[in-house]
Structure 1
Amino acid sequence: MEYIDNVLFVVLLVAGIFLFARSLNSIFQNIKLGKSINRSDRPSERWMRMTYVALGQSKMGARPVAGFLHLLVYVGFVIINIELIEIIIDGIFGTHRVLSGLMGTTLYGLFTSTLEILALLVLIAVVLFFARRNFYGVKRLTMKELFGWPKNDANWILVIEFALMTAFFVMNSSDVLLQRSGAYQTLGNFPVSELLFVPIIDWFSFADTALVFTERSAWWFHFIGILFFMNYLYYSKHLHIILAFPNTWYSKLEPKGEMNNLASVTREIKLMMDPSADPYAATEQNSNDKFGASDIFDLNQVQLLNAYTCTECGRCTAVCPANLTGKKLSPRKIMMDTRDRLEEVGRNIKANGTFQPDGRQLLDDHITREELRACTTCNACVEACPVLIDPLSIIIDLRRYMIMEESSAPQEWNVMMSNIENNAAPWQYNQADRLNWASE
């Protein structure tokens, strides 16, 4: 029974890591449902972009207040969880603040002081984020696509982070009081705890036994809370904590306005231009070619990675001219709908072993044609995204399917495209008359 705590700790640690790895594998398998795409070119440029955007948070500064608060939470939360190394070693071997012996008294004091200050900044930022999201009325955070689970998810993450930071301070404050009584060895500096939290806990006049129970309870709560947070990410928009790094690495390096050519269209054009080709044989050979996308299987793997990485911050929608003029298009909703359909297909495959047609698809059942037709392809959403997500590429692929596979377009579009096909210009006059205006 002497090592029951250590055994329990190891069991929880292994179980938490296993469940987390299983969730990541599920996401990876779903992303693999998309078409493969080669984004391994210019690796040095990709590493630089990932470092600058994902690690350096460079695009968050476009909105300074939110960007600064996000930086506090991001940097503070990451650095504070360096302490997880100490918790894991202590949990496995039954030691107490083992890093103090490795760092030495001075360095460990600086380390714990830094963690305390960062934890306080995280606590303040989380409270401000919660107030801003729920009471300040930021338009992009109150749109209808966030009603229900998305809003609750964002709030739950803030509540979890607040609880973890509070447990961190309760643990340190109890430790300080136990050090003062001589029950614990004097290790580390805890300026925030001593100033704000120790007086509160000391007010209850706990005996050493109760203080040890409080300190151990907060320690276990902090550890289990981190495991819970780690596994909650799979169900949350906060997957971007992890996926922002590969997402920025695999992002498009070409100019934003440059559209890709469809291989299926290229083959058709080459066939038309080759007098020796047998059009009927080629058509039969390429009968599976599909212009554009109607479901997630037609999108590429980077687009599906984009869907999982979406932070639901709404910066894309906030700058979308179509949305600003009252149209239904919301680039954020495009990404959320793509992720929902991807998860729907993933559950279908898990239940049946392979995908069984469910009579649903991304187009129409998740994303409406009205939304797609409202897009002006201005790239404002792509420019605004802090993690380099590209909603426009999905919109374009879905519109390609509508027009090239179904000939589904408004009359005005059909007239324009007929003119381009027949006259090589959007206007309804003969090519020979194109320069008549100059004679006037």
Structure 2
Amino acid sequence: MHIIQEAAFIVVLAVAGYLFSKKARQIYRNIMLGRPEALTDEPEKRWRNLLLLAFGQKKMFRNPLVAVLHFIVYAGFIIINLEVLEILLDGILGKHRLFAEPLGGFYTFLINSFELLAAGVLIACSIFLVRRNIVKVKRLNSKDLTGWPKSDANYILITEIVLMSLFLTMNAADTLLQQRGYSHYGEAVTGNFWVSSILQPLFAGFSSGALEGLERTCWWLHILGILAFLNYLPYSKHLHIVLAFPNAYFARLKPMGRMKNMPDIQKEVLYAMQPELAPTEPAEPHRFGARDVMDLSWKNVLDAYSCTECGRCTAACPANITGKKLSPRKIMMDTRDRAEEIGENINKNGQFTDDGKSLVRDYITEEELRACTTCNACVQECPVSISPLDIILQLRRYLVMEESSAPAEWNGMFSNIENNFAPWKFSPDDRDKWVTEN
């Protein structure tokens, strides 16, 4: 019987690992569809960002209560995975509580710590469900977060609650069986654990056979749930659990107010002013700005996949606050959706085949792009160093530079800058006249 369970577990583990690695490779390929961008300078600052923003969740603590609850869920997810390691080894080797004997009393301390975290996760996830579905926090229930994205968060929270409940129930049944010296359970005497011992009276009347069935059922459902969660992760906003770390490390370190110049435009201006510097061979034409995901940088696409969909960017956006269609959160979600669509196209055809669509217009409208004030509020608020503004600027540059699509007010300003070297319709010679008028 044990051999059958071990074989079944190994098969399930292998299938789950294969499916996750396959999807992970596809996501990596989709991210690398973007243009190259060098982001490896100043490694000390980058490691500091990773520790403070990803591990320490520094920006979350602007709202201390929510930050503490989120940190409990985050810590529970990371730390309880140490307990999952034991479950995996038990399943592969056919053992029971493999680490109990070598770790001794420290093992009991670890499981007690895990149980306290599990209880914290149960409480925190319950509060988050209430905030989303009963209190209806505005940024979690806005019109740009409907359908699957809204349901996704609820599914994850419910899954966390179920997994933690299974873990505590498994421990309660296990320790009761230890006390009875039943079968192999009596060989790993750990004593009662702090939280699961509270549940023991619920199962004290069970027969030993029923308790074993309960413990095994919880064990299997717990590990199968974790493997299912692992494969659900790449399709969910909770992929940020993994990608927040590289995204924080590769964050742009320049001041937020400094916009990147377009080297191709700078060269065009230089060659116009100094024709002798122009190359004799005509250069391959480059696209100005970005029309689709392939025109963005790989960091922009990584940003999109790292988005937590928390809505802090949209809640802080002055354009959105005043009723404009722009939502920085939607910009990131649309970019990720388009990258996924391109990835599916590649999976189907072996390489990308033009589908007649693009990120501009098919996903993100001109109205959204023009509403942006470039104030950087979205960048400032993002807890994982995402920059919706960088994507907006590149898409907007494409519209202006490639399609000459700009509001009349913008075109007037561009013309004035070109002719008068300033946004206003005054000759440079007349610019100082206001000083002498009075």
Q: What is the match of residue 194 of structure 2? A: 191
Matched with 1:408 is: 405
Deviations 1:258-304 (A, max 9, x none): 1111121122122212232568x65x4232x1110111110000000
Within 1, Cα distance between the matches of 2:275 and 2:145? Answer: 55
Q: What is the one-letter code of the residue matched to 2:317? A: C
Structure 2: distance between partners of 1:94 and 1:187:
19
| Cα shift readout 1:143-187 (whole Å, capped 9, x = no counterpart) | 122111001111100111111001001101101211222212221
CA distance in 2, matches of 1:425, 1:270: 19
Identity of counterpart residues, as a percentage? 52
Q: Within 5 A, what are the aligned runs for 1:188-267? A: 188-195=191-198, 197-202=199-204, 205-267=205-267
| Equivalent of 1:290 in 287, 291, 299 | 287
Amino acid at match of 2:197: E
Shift of 1:121: 0.5
1:429 aligned counterpart, secondary structure:
coil
Task: Indicate the larger mover: 76-85 or 114-123.
Answer: 76-85
CA contact (8 A) 1:100 1:188 kept: no
Q: Is the 8 A contact 2:2 2:94 kept in 1?
A: no
In terms of mean alpha carbon deviation, does 88-97 or 394-403 score higher? 88-97
- For 2:77 and 2:195, locate their aligned partners in 1 and report how far apart those are by CA, in whole Å: 16
2:300 to 292, 300, 303: 303
Aligned-residue Cα RMSD (Å) equals 1.3
Gaps of 5+ in 1: none
Conserved 8 A contact 2:175-2:191: no
Query: CA separation in 2, counterparts of 1:16 and 1:55?
Result: 27
Distance 2:269 2:203 in 1: 77
**1:110 and 1:189 in contact (8 A); partners too:** no
How far is the alpha carbon of 1:425 from its aligned partner? 0.8
Cα distance between partner residues in 2 of 1:321 and 1:275: 44
- CA–CA distance in 2 between the matches of 1:189 and 1:228? 29
SS of the residue 1:276 aligns to: helix
Work out the CA distance in 1 between the residues paired with 2:23 and 2:72: 27
> Hey, what does 1:11 align to over in structure 2?
11
SS at match of 1:312: coil
Separation in structure 2 between the aligned mates of residue 138 and residue 409 of structure 1, nearest angstrom: 36
Three-state SS of the structure 2 residue aligned to 1:129 is helix
Q: Is the 8 A contact 1:113 1:189 kept in 2?
A: no
Contact 1:10 1:92 (8 Å CA) reproduced: yes
Cα deviation code 1:100-158 (max 9, x no counterpart): 11211x21121111111111000000111111111112111111221110011111001
Does residue 354 of structure 1 match 2:351? yes
Equivalent runs, 1:124-163 vs 2, <5 Å: 124-163=123-162
- Aligned counterpart, 2:418: 421
Aligned residues of 1:34 and 1:304 also touching (Cα < 8 A): yes
Alignment TM-score, normalising by the size of structure 1:
0.96
Displacement after TM superposition at 1:64 (Å): 2.0
Q: Shift of residue 65 of structure 1?
A: 2.2
5 Å-filtered alignment, 1:20-419, equals 20-104=20-104, 106-183=105-182, 184-185=185-186, 186-195=189-198, 197-202=199-204, 205-277=205-277, 284-287=282-285, 289-419=286-416
Distance 2:416 2:4 in 1: 79
Question: Do the aligned partners of 1:168 and 1:222 also contact (CA within 8 Å) in 2?
Answer: yes
Q: CA deviation at 1:395?
A: 0.3
Partner SS state of residue 82, structure 1? helix
Which residue identity lines up with residue 187 of structure 1 in the other structure?
Answer: T
Out of 296-305 and 416-425, give the one that drifted further. 416-425
Letter in 2 for 1:182: G
> For 1:34, what is the secondary structure of its paired residue?
coil
